[in-house]
Every structure is written in C-alpha cells, then in structure tokens.
Chain A
Amino acid sequence: MQAASPTAKMLTGLALLGLLGGAWGIIEALMYGTHATGLGSFVPWGLGVALYLTFLGFSAGGLPLALATTVFGKHEYEELSGLVAWTVVVTELCAGLAIILDLGHMERMYRFMTAPSFTSPMAWMFVFFNALLLVYLLKIYNLLNKNAVWVHRLTMISVPVALLFYGTNGYIFGVLVTHPVWGGPLIPFYFIVAALMAGTALMCFLSWAFNYKAKLTMGVGYGVLALILLFALLEILIGLTGFQSGDTDTRLTLKAILSGSNGLVFWSLHVGLGMVIPVFLLLRHTVGSTALGSFCVMASFLATRWVFVIPPQSVPPLPGLDQAFIHERLALTYTPHLGEWLVVLFVFSLSLLGFVLGPRLLPGLFQQGGKNV
C-alpha cells in the first residue's frame, strides 16, 4: 500500500468523521425502517430515492468514456479507464446502499432474484444494476492483470448495458403515464442525459483531483459543457410542453417545481449552481475552472434530483384526497427527517472514502501515462 499524502490523510479523516456522524441514520433505518423517515403515502419517494438517483448519475462516467474510446476512437482517454472503472463501482455501491435503506422490507431483496416480475421496470433496473456492476468489477480485474483484450471486450459490453441501465431508471418514472411530469417517453432519454452529465462531471473533477493530464481534464470538460446544454434543452422542452398541454395537474406540478421552497432549490441550486455557474466556468478554458465547474455540477446534482422527485408528488391524484383523511403520512408535503440526512452524509462519506482509498488499495488501477486498453 502506498504512503498517504497529507491531503489523502485529511480526506480520509473527513470521510471517517462523516461515516461516524452518519452512522445513526443507518442504524435508525435498520432498526425502524421507513418509520424513521418523513415519507407519506402521497410522497412515498423522498430523499432516499433522490440520493439513489444522484449516485446513479455519478456512476455514469464509464459510458461517455467507453463511447469516446470505442466509437469515436479517442484513445488518449483510455488512460482514465482505471479511475473511471473504480468510480463506477464505488458510486454504484453507494447508490445500492441508498436505495436498499429506502425499502420497507429490505430483508426481502432476495425476491428480485427468486420472483422477479419482468413487467416491472424496477425488476429490469435490478438486472442492469447488477450487470453493470459485474462488468466493471471484471474490468477492474482485467485492468489490474493487463488483459487488454478482455478490457476492450468489457468496454464494448458496458455501452449497451449502461444505456439500458440508465434508460431503465428513467423508464421507472416514464411508465407512470398518469403522473404529471414523470410519465412519458421523453423521461428515459432525460435520465440518460442527466446521468451522463453527472457522471462526466465527476470524471472530469476526479481526473483533475488525481493529477491526470490537463488535456484530458479539459477534453472531458467540453463533454460536461455539451451535456449541461443538452440537459437544459430537455428541461425547457419538458417545461414548455407541460405548460402548454392544458393539463391542470401538469401545470400545478410545474408550478410546484418552479416556485415556493422547491423553486428556491430549483433556481438557486439546480439552475444557478448546477448550470449557469458551471457553463461560465467551463467556458473559461482553464483546467482549474473546468474542474471547479464540474464540481459545481456534482455538488448540485442532489438538488437536481430533488426537484425531479419531490415536487411532482405535491399534487393529489384526485382533487381533495389529501383533505379527506388527515394525517402527517397523508400529506402532500415532505420534509426529510434528520436520519435521512444522516444517511446522505454516510453515503457521501463512504464514496469519499472509496475515492481516497482507491489509489492506495489498487495503485495499478490509477497508473498514469500508460494505455490501459
């Protein structure tokens, strides 16, 4: 194991502190399940789902890299293969932890294997989640063993698997055709673009943090810029079609996203920190500003997921249903409990620990200058 640098030591300490602080959230989730959350029957998907989708997005960095190297022949980016493979595994495991803790009966997860229902997008999500994890675990093994042939094959396999995985997560929402904003055929594509944006931003920032060539960081940065613009275009299209559709629930939902306390999150964190500032920074064409711009996209991505997941659930399925039987679990509002935020802290700290320990545990994976594929 390599000796740790002072920065690595500080980050390890920070991660351990976060794990310690967030541990209560995990304990509470294990002991009390969803009882410990602020969820209700009208807002049954909350911070846990947003956290899962956040790390799901972070795990998407492998897809643009695989496309760049295999489809577009940009072989110089193969140097990032090890870093990205490690990132995918770490972030996928964090995403998995986030969503398992959100289940009412996590001990029955085995039913995904023993009794899957393939009419459900969620069953497919489970399949592709594990498939992608397996592909990248095998890729790490082959990268460490310098097996270029299998690394190339696995990179090729990872492209359709990743597209199906991220598309399936969008399909979970898209299939809810009666749900305002969520339902529709555009949503799976929206999810793929969102994941690509976040995953590429993480890859860009990490390539800078791990001192890869500035040229690589800058190149990935252009990808982040293009994906931010594409993502913004998709959001504008969803907004415009929603407002002009004439559907009352869709309009109410869009208003819930764009105004009030959710509006503050949308405009300041999602649009401001997640789009406007990164675009400004990425256009400066310096490696530092590129990394910082990518960091802003990452830092705001939980807010990006929040505005997609939470506000659309604030419109009742039938008018007046929320007033028919009053209870906090039957409200249209949602405020996460402390335990849920502690789970967020734990999962982010776990990923930080993963990134800090990665180069020390598997230094061969983070070799620079050489071609991994």
Chain B
Amino acid sequence: MRVTLATEDPLITMQRDLKRALENKTAKARWVMVIDLAKCIGCHACTVACATENALPPGVVYRPVMEEEIGEYPNVSRRFLPRPCMQCQNPPCVPVCPVQATWKDDEGVTVVDYEKCIGCRFCLKACPYGARTSDFGEAYSKNTPELDGVLLGRTNVEQGYAKRTAAEYDKEWGDRKRNSPVGNARKCHFCLHRVHNGQLPSCVTSCVGRATLFGDLNDPASLVHKMVASPRVMRLKEHLGTDPHVYYLT
C-alpha cells in the first residue's frame, strides 16, 4: 500500500491563507481557531508562547491547557484541551460591561479597551469559559533577591523584563506599575496585533503538533474553512448559544 504524506506544513498553508485574507479588501475576515485534540500532546508550548508574546504577568493566562485523565488502569489515557478565548459571536461578557470597555470587533474578536475598563470584573463572572483573567499587578520579580548583578538584582529585573508591557491591541502601554492593563480584565484576542501585521497568533506558530489552526472562516479556500466542516467538530458549551469561534476536532 502506498502511503501519501502531507506535502506542506499547515503553517505554510495558514500563512498563505492569512495573506489572502489581509489582501481581501471586499470583505472583513472572520477569524476562527480550530484545535485538533487528537494532535495536542499537552506540551503547553502555546501557553508559554502566549505568555511571552503578551508579556503576561503571574496569575494572568490567556491560553491554559486543561488535562483530563480518562479510564482506569490498565486502560488509561490523557486528553488535553487548550482553552483560548472562545471569541463568542454572542459573548455574555460584552453586555454586562457597564462602561462600554469591551465589544466584539468587526472581525468577530472580542476586545477590551484597557483605558476604558474600570476593573469591576463583572465580565470575568459572565464568561462561561473562565476565559478572562484580571491583572492584579503581580510581577515575576516579586521574590527576586536584591543582589548586585544584572540577573539577580530585583531592581534590574523590574526595570527590564517585569517592566515590559506587550503591544497588545497595537499599542504601547508603558510601565506597568498601576497603569493599565494592571487592574483590568484581560483576555486572549487571537494576537490581533500579530495578525494585522501578517503573522499568525503565537499559540499557532508555537504548536509543535500543528494542533492549532487559524484563519478566515469567510474564505472557502482556507484550511480552517475545510476543517470546520469535519464531522469531528464540536464547540464548548454550545447549548448556551454563545456561538464560539473556537472549534475543536475530537
């Protein structure tokens, strides 16, 4: 029997899809993510890549990977379920915001305006997926010893890595201290700042098993459009009517 191997890395395909979506001036893209649970090996590379890309402080996570042990010895297996923001098309987190600080943009991604958010955390409670976290102003340098040297000195660390705020939403947010996004609700935004610059989200590029796919659902030729039509597709808590834009292949 002749075995045919895929000739193209899905990353190349998705990169081409992304370029086509960005060049399409007639229709706005509708970004979706497809996660193949059979390919996820639970390496947490996406979690780490996301935290690095978005300079997430301790206690803030956009894409945790949940683990589940199934069966009993000797028939035991593990299942991994990455959980980014579901980018619901009927997001319960949006209407509860009392000050119009969060909304679904015209590409179907729910975004937060850090300069408008008052930090009431109502949206955190409204999200049925627990996809929003609050930035309590933690820093990895908290317990760093104050000693001489670039690597060890807390002051040096605070002025370096811990000071850095990522350019989320295409904006430099400046020193953390008590400035936004400290005190705000934060969430996965499909790395829009990368996507708008022709780069795939960091969780997609870092996935060693190519389990996470990303693209424009409005493009019938895109990889995600094809994958969403799979009979293996399911979405989390679909009965709530939130219409998530993250699809899982079981």
Contacts and interface: CB of A to CB of B under 8 A. Distances in A.
A122 B95 CA distance: 10
A117 B236 CA distance: 28
Interface string B225-237: 0000000000011
A45 interface: yes
B120 interface: yes
A329 interface: yes
A181 to B, nearest CB: 12
Interface string A313-336: 100111111011101111000000
Nearest to A100: B118
Is chain B's binding surface mostly helix, strand, loop or mixed?
loop
B161 interface: no
B134 A104 contact: yes
Given A320-B68, A330-B61, A44 B116 contact: no
Contacts of B178: 32-33
A122 B122 contact: yes
B124 interface: yes
B178 to A, nearest CB: 6
B58, B64, B95, B138: residue with the most chain A Cβ atoms closer than 10 Å: B64
Interface stretch (A34-42, A150-158, A299-307, A360-368): A34-42
A105 B126 contact: no
Is chain A's binding surface mostly helix, strand, loop or mixed?
loop
B96 A330 contact: no
A61 B97 CA distance: 30
Nearest to B117: A105
A111 B125 contact: no
A45 B120 CA distance: 9
Contacts of B97: 117, 120
> Size range of the interface on B?
35 or more
Interface stretch (A79-87, A170-178, A193-201, A217-225): A170-178
B59 interface: yes
B92 A116 contact: no
B58 A122 contact: no
A109 interface: yes
A103 B119 contact: yes
Given A318-B83, A329-B58, A330-B59, A178 B92 contact: yes
Contacts of B47: 325
Contacts, number: 155
A40 B240 CA distance: 25
A106, A115, A117, A176: residue with the most chain B Cβ atoms closer than 10 Å: A117
B128 A178 contact: yes
A323 B67 contact: yes
A324 B125 contact: no
> Size range of the interface on A?
35 or more
A261 interface: no
B99 A317 contact: no
A117 B134 contact: no
B67 A120 contact: no
Interface string B208-249: 000000000000000000000000000011001000000000
Interface string A109-148: 1011001110111110110000000000000000000000
A122 B117 CA distance: 13
B136 interface: yes
A179 interface: yes
Interface string A160-187: 0000000000001001101100100000
Nearest to B180: A105
B174 interface: no
B118 A41 contact: no
A126 B100 CA distance: 14
A121 B61 CA distance: 27
B132 interface: yes
Given A103-B119, A104-B134, A330-B133, A122 B59 contact: no
Given A103-B119, A327-B59, A179 B134 contact: no
Contact of A105 (B83, B98, B118, B132): B118
Interface in B97-143: 97-101, 116-122, 124-130, 132-138
B99 A108 contact: yes
B59 A328 contact: yes
B147 interface: no
Contacts of B92: 178
Contacts of A35: 136-138, 182
Contacts of A123: 98-99
Given A126-B98, A329-B138, A172 B122 contact: yes
B169 to A, nearest CB: 17
A320 B128 contact: no
B116 A318 contact: no
A120 B95 contact: yes
B38 interface: no
B184 interface: yes
Give me the 5 closest cross-chain CB pairs, A-B, nearest first: A104-B119, A329-B59, A104-B183, A324-B64, A317-B130
Given A40-B134, A105-B118, A116-B99, 20 more contacts: A33-B183, A41-B134, A44-B121, A45-B121, A104-B134, A104-B183, A105-B184, A115-B99, A120-B122, A121-B96, A122-B120, A125-B98, A317-B127, A321-B83, A321-B130, A323-B66, A324-B61, A328-B59, A329-B133, A330-B61
